[in-house]
Structure 1
Amino acid sequence: MLPPVVVLLTYPHFSPFHFSVPYMVFNSTLAGLPLFDLKIISSDAQSMMAERALTVIPDGGLELADTADIVVVPGWHDLSLPPSANLIMTLIRAHARGAHVVGLCYGAYVLAYAGLLDGKRASTHWMAEQDFCLRFPSVQLDMNALYVEEERLITSAGTGAGLDCCLYIVRKYYGAQIANKVARTMVIAPHREGGQAQYIEQPMPVSTKDAQINRLLDYLREHIAEQHTIDALAARTLMSRRTFTRHFYKATGMTVIDWLINERLRRSRELLETTTLSIDRIAECAGFQTPVSFRQHFKQRFQVSPRDWRRTFGQDATDSA
């Protein structure tokens, strides 16, 4: 049986990393035999220069996509620039005849510009969330997923998630055993737990425009391990409960409970990354009433367990990286 044909698009000023990820995965061999028939294409079959010091000579133009089983767009160089009409029609034709069309990282923009993602779930790099949603309101953006497939349209989150996505495609065509062998060859995990929520920076403002609330926030950070009631905090600010909750929400954009959970999760992440305290002890230090509550809130927010977070971001992980 002939291997599936993969065409990999190049475009002006493409990212060498985003190009190399699908190139390495789909150029893999086992026992000397290629898993895929990989071809590199560009819109006009001309050589393309990457961001710096790299030029790729394609195998041909967009016509090669007309017989491909998988079409891969590895990122995109200008999020405000729609792809050419020829490229859009190429992707639409490929999908219509049954091919998988893949947008890695910002490559999701190309699929969205082509209208292929309208009414469907998709993923892209978390840094583009606001821009993507404004440009393509009819796309159901999943900002936690490492990759998403719907109706043979596959999109991935940023950078490293492209590897997860390409290995997922290998599993689709060859099964988990072959995908695992490819992953071992590349010395990477065949499957990562969780989603990109664990990588998204979620800074909380240190202060607000309300000096009285600022003093309270400083107090809460210093006593985050303690339990606090709204009535007690209102009394501390010399306000009624109703006035306090209104002032707090106006200053922070959050309820008191939500703010405390966010701050406790921030503190717990810090302890997971910088100490060897047990999970139960970290739950206590961060102010969660029980270790079970801590684990539930952590898993809900970051889609991974506290133990897995420590394994990924803890000091031991940094030292061994």
Structure 2
Amino acid sequence: MHTVAVLALATVVPFDLSTPIEVFTRVTLPGGRPAYRVRVCAAEPFVDAGAFTVRAHWGLAELAGADTIVLPGCTDLATPVPDDVLTALRKAAADGTRIASICSGAFILAATGLLDGLRATTHWLAAPALAAGHPEIEVDPDVLYVDNGQLLTSAGAAAGLDLCLHLVRRDHGSAVAAQAARLSVMPLEREGGQAQFIVGDRYPTPRGSALEPVLRWMDDNAERDLTLEDIAARANTSTRTLNRRFREQTGTTPLRWLLRARIRRAQYLLESTTHPVDRIARQVGFGSPTAFRDQFKRVVGTSPGAYRSAFRGSGP
């Protein structure tokens, strides 16, 4: 039987902790046999989860015997990961154990150094902080999860469900995973593939960054046909230096940041107006409605029309 160890650290996010427990304890194989044995592990017997306290029956030593380790998110990203936890995770990875993170659990995995040189994701709101703190990681804020084989990361709390179902499918095939999805009242693959829905007023910007003025200028002028040279001139630097600074401080490129600013503006218009999609395409700076639809679906994971149907309120 496959053993899943769920690691609980201080100020663990309750939903992130319960997600793998709920998913993996319900998975059954043909004949009704359980597919997974789940263990909640912690450095201390009791862990504060905010709304409740977790009693962990297993310590860090249990990680060594697990086939998969799941790292739930923590509410305080500034809290250092204890050295004994980092040591246990590195040892488990060296022994071939699969490690997956949910939401801000990516910061725990990043602290081990195991993600260096790899692509990873986390909640879109925390992505700039992950990229700034770990520039050696290619942070992709546009996906629900990233599968690097042994190491996997997922986005927000709901994306943790997608990741757990993906692991079940990897381990036992689509039929078993589909049954697990039905028990979780989830589609095995959500509409939108692996793309996150970007929410919030604007793409997150690093507070106090030297790039902040140009980022705000780009956001205010997203509808213009801006080139990399235009942005570099505004920042009073070369295009090469601009690209380097963007990757260091935002985890992406200037033109990709601009694309997301345009998409975010389009989302707002889709949510709050009845403007036709073709008009919105022009308003947010796309050369053609076709290009807008293609880029919107690539970034958001669904069509503008489907997004409007899902998210438009009862406003004007």
How big is the shift at 1:71? Answer: 0.7
Matched-pair contact (CA < 8 Å) for 1:157–1:196: no
How big is the shift at 1:194? Answer: 4.4
AA aligned to 2:82 is S
Q: What is the CA–CA distance in structure 2 between the aligned matches of 1:58 and 1:13, rounded to whole Å?
A: 14
Alignment match, 2:170: 172
Alignment match, 2:207: none
How big is the shift at 1:269? Answer: 3.0
* Cα offsets for 1:108-162 (capped at 9, x unmatched): 1111111111111111122222222222121121111211122401111122111
Cα distance change of structure 1 residues 95 and 258 upon mapping to structure 2, 3 Å threshold: closer
Alignment match, 1:308: 306
1:24 partner SS: helix
Q: Which of 33, 49, 55 is the aligned partner of 1:57?
A: 55
Cα distance change of structure 1 residues 83 and 258 upon mapping to structure 2, 3 Å threshold: closer
The 10-residue stretch of structure 1 (302-311 or 287-296) with the greater mean CA deviation from structure 2: 287-296
Matched-pair contact (CA < 8 Å) for 1:27–1:36: yes
Q: What is the CA–CA distance in structure 2 between the aligned matches of 1:262 and 1:138, rounded to whole Å?
A: 22
Cα distance change of structure 1 residues 151 and 186 upon mapping to structure 2, 3 Å threshold: closer
Cα distance change of structure 1 residues 59 and 272 upon mapping to structure 2, 3 Å threshold: same
Count of aligned pairs: 277
**Is 1:110 matched with 2:108?**
yes
Cα distance change of structure 1 residues 272 and 61 upon mapping to structure 2, 3 Å threshold: same
Matched-pair contact (CA < 8 Å) for 2:16–2:160: yes
2:126 partner SS: helix
AA aligned to 1:105 is C
Q: What is the CA–CA distance in structure 1 between the aligned matches of 2:82 and 2:285, rounded to whole Å?
A: 54
Alignment match, 1:189: 187
Looking at both structures, which has the greater relative contact order when contacts are Cα pairs under 8 Å and sequence separation is at least 6?
2
* Cα offsets for 1:289-316 (capped at 9, x unmatched): 6432331242344343213322432349
Alignment match, 1:48: 47
How big is the shift at 1:281? Answer: 6.7
Q: Which of 4, 11, 16 is the aligned partner of 1:13?
A: 11
Q: What is the CA–CA distance in structure 1 between the aligned matches of 2:38 and 2:256, rounded to whole Å?
A: 49
Q: What is the CA–CA distance in structure 1 between the aligned matches of 2:266 and 2:128, rounded to whole Å?
A: 28
Matched-pair contact (CA < 8 Å) for 2:9–2:42: yes
Q: Which of 129, 132, 135 is the aligned partner of 2:133?
A: 135
Alignment match, 1:93: 91
How big is the shift at 1:100? Answer: 0.5
Give the alignment's TM-score, normalised by structure 1. Answer: 0.72
Cα distance change of structure 1 residues 276 and 21 upon mapping to structure 2, 3 Å threshold: same
The 10-residue stretch of structure 1 (300-309 or 108-117) with the greater mean CA deviation from structure 2: 300-309
Identical counterparts, % of pairs? 34
| Gap runs ≥5 in structure 1 | 231-244
1:127 partner SS: coil
Cα distance change of structure 1 residues 179 and 282 upon mapping to structure 2, 3 Å threshold: same
Cα distance change of structure 1 residues 258 and 85 upon mapping to structure 2, 3 Å threshold: closer
* Cα offsets for 1:83-109 (capped at 9, x unmatched): 222211211121112111112111111
* Cα offsets for 1:54-75 (capped at 9, x unmatched): 1222221111111110011111
* Cα offsets for 1:154-183 (capped at 9, x unmatched): 111122111111111111111122212111
Alignment match, 2:36: 36
1:124 partner SS: coil
Q: What is the CA–CA distance in structure 1 between the aligned matches of 2:271 and 2:155, rounded to whole Å?
A: 24
1:270-289 equivalent positions in 2, closer than 5 A: 270-274=268-272, 279=277, 283=281
Matched-pair contact (CA < 8 Å) for 2:5–2:66: yes
**Is 1:72 matched with 2:59?**
no
Cα distance change of structure 1 residues 145 and 65 upon mapping to structure 2, 3 Å threshold: same
The 10-residue stretch of structure 1 (3-12 or 79-88) with the greater mean CA deviation from structure 2: 79-88
The 10-residue stretch of structure 1 (74-83 or 143-152) with the greater mean CA deviation from structure 2: 74-83
Q: What is the CA–CA distance in structure 1 between the aligned matches of 2:257 and 2:88, rounded to whole Å?
A: 48
Q: What is the CA–CA distance in structure 2 between the aligned matches of 1:293 and 1:166, rounded to whole Å?
A: 34
1:124-163 equivalent positions in 2, closer than 5 A: 124-163=122-161
AA aligned to 2:66 is A
Alignment match, 1:242: none
